Structure 1
Amino acid sequence: MRPDSDYGVSKAFGEILARYYCARWGMESICLRIGSVRDDDDPTTDPRFLRTWLSHRDLVHLVECCLRANVSYGVYYAISNNKGAFWDLSNARAELGYDPQDDASRRSPR
């Protein structure tokens, strides 16, 4: 881990604490590193969102995957299938069955 802010440190602490509870008491936990979820579901208002957007549809799908998964502990990025994304979804795809359908680059501005 290499957090770059106080916020990142707090997120890392939460993930490590969840891992500890899993190992110590068997408490299952899935940690999601949620990208950019917009009230209006529009990723076109900021260039960063084109890489970090998580559509409402893909968010619902990912939560459903988490609830069905046979995973004791895991950390997963939560974004849509965005062209040029800089976060890797391969473990969410393999371990959770996550199959995001939306891509910010294919959305037209509203």
Structure 2
Amino acid sequence: MEDPVLLTGAGGSVGEAILQGLGDEYDWRLMFHSPPATEPDHEYLVGDVVDEETVREAVAGVGAIIHLAGDPRPSAPWASVLSNNIDGTQKMYEAAVDTGVERFVYASSNHAVGAYETDERTPEMYRTGDDYRLDGTEFPRPGNLYGVSKATGEVLGRYYHDEHDISVCNIRIGNLTEGHPPIDYERGQAMWLSYRDCAHIHECALEADYDFEIVYGISDNDRKYYSIERAKDALGYEPKDNSAEWDGDERID
């Protein structure tokens, strides 16, 4: 990709994983909500995604956007998700189409479908195979207002793709941790996304040929709540990690 890639929310853990794995692979422009603690190795700016002038400055001249910025708290109140997650995402899309950006990768979340885990789709059913796993074709079913904002971000992407032909990939990111899966947390292990698989799936989203996609961003764990078959088929995703290969914080040889 010749033009820079804009990475919003660059100071968070997902941004850290992406830059850790792909920092030398692209010409990055980073957007931080607050000044970074250390000077980044890439071009950057500090600003708020709800500020239209800042957003247009960030988007100018880039070829693709990975949009991570927003309030990441599952308990975030409505005022915050409305402003930071929904309005900020709409402003980013509007600037993208106005400036001719061709690709938009959106950090969605498993919280967009979190309420499926509360009744008929029990953990036992998830273990029986892909017939029972969520695969991205299901209707959103958020379990909190943060999830509502992520589902709304996906719908915004559908609209901007249909109206303006921008390529959109929504990645429903699972439980991202560095080094090893969550310890003594079965649900987190089933939803685990390693740092290197996080970088890889975003690289796939930057490079693959697609129109509009919703995929799950988790590693290739033996036990899964979500199917990664669409990510493999549409993006060429080839995850390397599996939470079953770990015992606590030690990898099983």
Match for residue 205 of structure 2 among 31, 55, 66: 66
How many residue pairs align between the two structures?
Answer: 109
- Percent identity over the alignment is 36
| Alignment partner, residue 180 of structure 2 | 42
TM-score by length of 1: 0.91
Work out whether 1:98 is the aligned partner of 2:237. Answer: yes
TM-score for the superposition, normalised by structure 2:
0.41
Q: Which amino acid letter does the alignment assign opposite residue 248 of structure 2? A: P
**Higher percent of residues as strand:** 2
Map of 1:1-110 to 2, 5 A cutoff? 1=139, 2-38=141-177, 40-45=178-183, 46-110=185-249
Instruction: Give the aligned residue type for 2:231.
Output: A
Deviation at 1:56, TM superposition (A): 1.0
**Structure with higher RCO (Cα < 8 A, 6+ apart):** 1
Kindly provide the CA deviation profile for residues 42-98 of structure 1, in whole angstroms up to 9, marking residues without a partner as x.
214222221011011111111111111111211110000001101011111111111
**Runs of 4 or more off by more than 3 Å in structure 1?**
none
Whichever structure has more helix as a proportion of its residues is 1
**Aligned counterparts of 2:196 and 2:146: Cα–Cα separation in 1:** 26
Task: Write the letter of the residue equivalent to 2:168.
Answer: S
Could you tell me which runs of 5 or more consecutive residues in structure 2 were left unpaired when the two chains were aligned.
1-138
Q: Secondary structure of 2:244's partner? A: helix
RMSD (Å) for aligned C-alpha atoms? 1.2
